[in-house]
Homo-oligomer: A and B are copies of this chain.
Amino acid sequence: MLRASFNEEELFYFKIACSKEFMTEEGMKQAYENLKKNKINALVVIGGEGSFRGVTEFSKRFDIKIVGLPGTIDNDIYGTDVTIGFDTALNTVVEAVDKICDTASSHDQMFFVEVMGRDAGFLTLRAGISCGAEAILIPEVESDINKFVDYLENGYRRKKTSNIILVAEGEKEGGAFEVVKKLEPYLQGYDVRVSVLGHIQRGGAPSAYDRYIATKMAVEAVFALINNHSGIMIGIVNDKIVHVPIEKAIKLHKTIDIEEVKIIDIMNV
């Protein structure tokens, strides 16, 4: 049925490298000619703000339909609850923290673990809940150093089995090393370690959930193009597929669920 409604040559998946050439009028013209030569009249773009912005400019100039799929481990794209890559990165973080916990608990150490996410704390927050972290520091929530000091005085001393604090790389107080430096006066007597998880978070075989949503979004993208939609991003909101104007996905800012932040505190009462 899908095959019946459009010519196989008209549409297929295509990868645009984040090339500097594509950002010039000249480069875009060349890209358009390449597409026409290959009888491609639509693009499905997997990426974030940057890719969406580039391809939107492109579609304004040339007769190419575009649909965006949200793809980033940071999960910071407006218009969708989840992004392709987020769940895989989350599992990588959780597995890494599990391994760190083996050391932390056998040597009675306190670990500050830095999690990726550029200027967003989604990955850190979700990982913090999943790992049972003692505390998280994310850019979206005003860090209350007194609260943390209070935690050190009361919480840590009550001897939790794992002693993990997650710090988002975009945290305003700085990354994990900077945070530890600032907290130094309050960390006397603790055996403190820092681990920056780094680029392992950006790779690996995709998790089942990421494959599932990627497939679902891709199928929707193809149907959207068949139905002559363009300039939209496919998202998932409250577990349902939605269409979002791609301009909104570029401009608007996704906010963190403050109820989830509270879970971290509740779990560490």
A263 interface residue (CB < 8 Å to B): yes
Contact of A219 among B209, B211, B263 (CB under 8 A): B263
B240 in contact with A202 (CB, 8 Å): no
Which B residues are in CB contact (< 8 Å) with A201?
99
Give a binary string over A232-269; 1 marks a CB under 8 Å from any B CB, 0 the rest: 00000011100000000000000000001001001101
| Given A219-B267, A239-B239, A269-B1: A127 in contact with B208 (beta carbons within 8 A) | yes
Of chain B, the residue at the smallest CB distance from A92 is B99
A203 in contact with B102 (CB, 8 Å): yes
How many whole Å from A226's CB to the nearest CB in chain B? 11
A59 interface residue (CB < 8 Å to B): no
A193 interface residue (CB < 8 Å to B): yes
Of chain B, the residue at the smallest CB distance from A131 is B211
Which B residues are in CB contact (< 8 Å) with A205?
95, 98
B208 in contact with A87 (CB, 8 Å): yes
Which B residues are in CB contact (< 8 Å) with A198?
195-197
A99 in contact with B204 (CB, 8 Å): yes
A187-218, CB < 8 A from B: 193, 195-205, 207-209, 211-212, 215-216
B196 in contact with A94 (CB, 8 Å): no
| Given A90-B208, A203-B103: A215 in contact with B129 (beta carbons within 8 A) | yes
B196 in contact with A196 (CB, 8 Å): yes
Which B residues are in CB contact (< 8 Å) with A238?
238-240
Which B residues are in CB contact (< 8 Å) with A199?
99-100, 103, 111, 193, 195
A51 interface residue (CB < 8 Å to B): no
Q: Can you name 10 A-B residue pairings with CB atoms under 8 Å?
A: A94-B207, A94-B208, A96-B200, A98-B205, A100-B199, A127-B208, A129-B212, A215-B267, A219-B263, A239-B239
Q: Give 10 closest A-B pairs by Cβ, nearest first.
A: A102-B203, A99-B203, A130-B211, A238-B238, A90-B208, A195-B198, A94-B208, A103-B202, A99-B204, A130-B208
